Amino acid sequence: MTRDVDLTVFTGFDEEAPVVDDILAQYPGRRAPVRTFAPQYRVILCATPSGIPVDIVLGALPFEAEMIERAADLEFEPGVVLRICTAEGLLG
């Protein structure tokens, strides 16, 4: 078990900058310079205010769009619902 967060935000191609800026306005980057690293490698490496690492993949491929479309909402605790990729969604 790891203590980090991995997620995908579907941006498409050439639409990453506003998403990167919005995320970095809320969460500190872990690798400088984040604003050039993120679009080049299609991942934003940031952290929560308590220091938990967060890797946000910038999705753009049809496979990623399909995986997101097949994702399911799961309530982790009362009032906390996350959209997750299921095993069936990965294999689908």
Domain boundaries for CATH 3.30.720 within the chain = 1-60
pLDDT digits 0-9 by tens, 13-27? 999 999 999 999 999
Peptide bond into 33 cis (omega under 30): yes
Give the CA distances from residue 19 to residues 3, 43, 66, 77, in Å, rounded to whole numbers and listed in that order.
24, 11, 20, 27
Tens-digit pLDDT profile for residues 43-55: 999 999 999 999 9
6 Ramachandran zone, left/alpha/beta (phi>0; psi -120 to 50): beta
pLDDT higher than threshold 90 for residue 60: yes
pLDDT given for residue 26 in this prediction: 94
Fold of 1-60: 3.30.720
The b/e string for 37-53 (b: 16+ C-beta within 10 A; e otherwise) is bbbeebbbbbeeeeeee
Beta bridge partners, 29, equal 46
pLDDT at 29 over 80: yes
